[in-house]
């Protein structure tokens, strides 16, 4: 019964995704035709009715049906992020009574993330260098007036270490941009509850009750509202997307998106097979809907509930390991962001007349991994962190800023394409760690009726 319901949700999400793509592109073509024939007023009516952002001054008199549906869904997901991370991670720490086991799980988790980071950065760097050497990044930048869009405050990636420890607990819980701080608080809370034992049993029961409430809320939101919201989000993205900047940066977008897609269907299944011997096709078949959801929502944090449920109920991962690996991965596993950085920075530097060398790519990869690990799990955050890598490389000339502004303007499809790499990567590490700890339920992973048998 549960499996049939899961398959039904997947089908609805896939229908919503492709339906949204078709409708969005149709509206994009309609808009271009109306504008080119002087009927811009007709498009303005359609835009105000369906797509307009009603929170900006231009949308005061608009309805924005697709915008409202998408935003309600996204805000509903974001509403649960902080309590979900706090509760699930705290309970995970409570359940791991063996300190050596905790250290082992943490070590394997971080090692898995780091190795996937390195593979992604190497592959992206090699492809980006090849495309650059072939001359496809020799583009003509738009006018200097767009440089104003590139203003962003410089940021030292090492500040992530300091910011991980909040000075004010309410400040950390008051923003989805400080999830790493919430993770630290949750780990400390869980370890303290674990150490106190029966003295903190009442608090532990409260957290368990909160976890049940959060899971029920998210199940209803994702299953009932998710497909409709995904259709609206995808349709609106393509309907309002500007085509004027696509031509000069087509090489960047195509090479980045193609590489992201190839990596997500090769690196993680191969990694699961090589480290555990499990069927990689089973892994990809079951985790595919999480990738689709990530592509649609463009947020690692928004994918956490669905990813958690898929790992536990369909891949057979341990509850306590899943509760540790996935929130941690949502915070620091931004492999897709690093892949995007390698292409974006190479494109920007090349378009600004800078010759990017293999040595530059190595430094770029290091800076990108540091920056990506501290990137908030929210839409467009990875794009803003491109400037961090540019600043670290010393590439902050006016021409580089113009190139950066161009990337900001066109990067939405690339941002959408990188999210599956992030969320599926966290799931892959979760499967690997669960298998290594001999806590992976093979009957569930292989698609049989859930049983008690654990990996021998």
What are the DSSP calls for 64-126, one per residue? -HHHHHHHHHHHHHHHHHHHHHHHHHHHHHHH---HHHHHHHHHHHHHHHHHHHHHHHHHHHH
pLDDT score, position 381: 59
- Is there a contact between 444 and 287 (Cβ–Cβ < 8 Å)? no
Kindly list the domain boundaries of the chain, sorted by start residue.
2-445
- pLDDT given at position 10: 62
**For position 377, what pLDDT does the model report?**
53
Which of 86-118 are b and which e, b meaning 16 or more Cβ less than 10 Å from the residue's Cβ?
bbbbbbbbbbbeeeeebeebbebbeebbeebbe
pLDDT band at 363 (very low <50, low <70, confident <90, very high): confident
Q: In 10 A of CB 443, how many CB atoms?
A: 14
Contact at 8 Å (CB) between 399 and 202? no
Asked whether residue 411 carries a pLDDT value surpassing 80, the answer given is: no
* d(C-alpha 272, C-alpha 149), whole Å: 41
CATH 1.20.1090.10 is the classification of domain 2-445: no
Which has the closest alpha carbon to 229: 177, 287, 302?
A: 302
* Mean pLDDT value across residues 408-426: 83
Mean local confidence (pLDDT), 68-75? 84
Distance CA 262, CA 126 (A): 14
Residue 326 contacts residue 47 (beta carbons within 8 Å): no
Which of the four pLDDT bands, split at 50, 70 and 90, describes residue 241? Answer: low
How far apart (Å, rounded) are the C-alpha atoms in residues 115 and 166? Answer: 28
CB contact set of 40 (below 8 Å; sequence gap of 6+): 34
d(CA 6, CA 326): 20
Residue pair 343/259 in contact (Cβ under 8 Å)? The answer is yes
Rg, Å, the chain Cα set: 22
Q: What is the mean pLDDT of the segment spanning 10-26?
A: 80
pLDDT at 123: 94
Q: Is 314 helix (H, G, I), strand (E, B) or coil?
A: coil
Average pLDDT estimate for 434-440: 92
Residue 454: which H helix or E strand, with range? none
Residue 141 has pLDDT above 60, yes or no: no
Residue 21: the pLDDT is: 79
Alpha-helical runs (H) found in 298-411 = 300-313, 319-332, 335-351, 358-373, 381-384, 386-393, 398-410
CB 324 within 8 A of CB 105: yes
Spatial separation of the C-alpha atoms in residues 456 and 436, rounded to whole Å = 10
Residue written as tokens 């949700």? 9
Distance in angstroms (rounded) separating the CA atoms of residues 144 and 107: 48
Q: Check residue 194 and give its pLDDT.
A: 80
Helices (H) and strands (E) in the chain, counts: 20, 0
Calculate the alpha carbon distances from 96 to 87, 92, 190, 415 in Å. Answer: 15, 6, 9, 36
> Under 8 Å CB-to-CB from 450, ≥6 apart: which residues?
313, 316, 441, 443, 444
Cα(204)–Cα(201) distance, integer angstroms: 5
- pTM to 2 decimal places: 0.68
Q: Let me know: does 139 contact 346? Beta carbons within 8 Å.
A: no
- How would you class 142 by CB atoms within 10 Å of its CB: exposed for 0-12, middle for 13-18, buried for 19 or more? middle
Which structure tokens are listed for 5? 């319901």
Q: Of the given ranges (58-72, 225-239, 412-426), which has the lowest mean pLDDT? A: 225-239
Q: Which of 71-80, 144-153, 251-260 comes out lowest in average pLDDT?
A: 144-153
Among candidate residues 401, 309, 415, the one with its CA nearest the CA of residue 372: 415
Residue 434: the pLDDT is: 93
């Amino acid at each position: 019964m549960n499996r049939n319901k899961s398959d039904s949700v997947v089908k609805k999400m896939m229908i919503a995704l492709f339906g949204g793509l078709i409708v969005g592109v149709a509206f994009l073509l309609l808009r271009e035709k109306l504008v080119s024939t002087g009927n811009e007023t007709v498009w303005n009516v359609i835009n105000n009715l369906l797509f307009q952002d009603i929170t900006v001054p231009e949308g005061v008199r608009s309805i924005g049906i697709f915008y409202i549906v998408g935003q309600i869904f996204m805000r509903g997901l974001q509403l649960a992020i902080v309590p979900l991370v706090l509760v699930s991670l705290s309970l995970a720490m409570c359940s791991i009574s063996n300190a050596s086991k905790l250290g082992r799980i943490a070590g394997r988790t971080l090692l898995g993330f780091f190795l996937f980071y390195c593979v992604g950065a190497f592959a992206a760097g090699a492809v980006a260098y090849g495309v650059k050497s072939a001359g496809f990044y020799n583009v003509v930048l738009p006018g200097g007036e767009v440089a104003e869009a590139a203003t962003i405050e410089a940021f030292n990636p090492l500040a992530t270490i300091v910011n991980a420890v909040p000075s004010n607990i309410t400040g950390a819980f008051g923003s989805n941009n400080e999830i790493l701080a919430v993770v630290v608080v949750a780990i400390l809370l869980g370890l303290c509850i674990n150490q106190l034992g029966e003295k903190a049993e009442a608090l532990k029961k409260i957290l368990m009750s909160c976890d049940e409430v959060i899971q029920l809320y998210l199940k209803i939101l994702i299953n009932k509202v998710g497909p409709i919201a995904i259709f609206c989000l995808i349709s609106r993205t393509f309907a309002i997307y500007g085509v004027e900047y696509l031509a000069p940066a087509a090489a960047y977008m195509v090479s980045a998106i193609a590489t992201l897609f190839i990596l997500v269907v090769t690196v993680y299944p191969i990694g699961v097979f090589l480290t555990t011997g499990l069927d990689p096709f089973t892994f990809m078949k079951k985790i595919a809907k999480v990738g689709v959801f990530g592509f649609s929502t463009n947020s690692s944090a928004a994918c956490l509930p669905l990813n958690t449920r898929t790992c536990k109920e369909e891949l057979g991962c341990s509850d306590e390991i899943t509760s540790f690996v996935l929130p941690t991965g949502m915070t620091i596993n931004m492999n897709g962001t690093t892949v995007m950085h390698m292409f974006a920075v190479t494109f920007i530097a090349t378009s600004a007349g800078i010759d990017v060398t293999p040595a530059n790519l190595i430094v770029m990869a290091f800076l990108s991994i540091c920056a990506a690990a501290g990137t908030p799990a929210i839409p467009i955050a990875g794009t803003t962190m491109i400037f961090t890598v540019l600043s670290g490389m010393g590439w902050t000339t006016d021409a580089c800023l113009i190139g950066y502004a161009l990337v900001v303007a066109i990067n939405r499809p690339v941002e959408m394409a990188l999210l599956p790499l992030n969320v599926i990567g966290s799931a892959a590490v979760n499967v690997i760690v669960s298998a290594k700890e001999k806590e992976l339920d093979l009957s569930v992973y292989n698609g049989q009726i859930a049983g008690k048998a654990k990996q021998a």
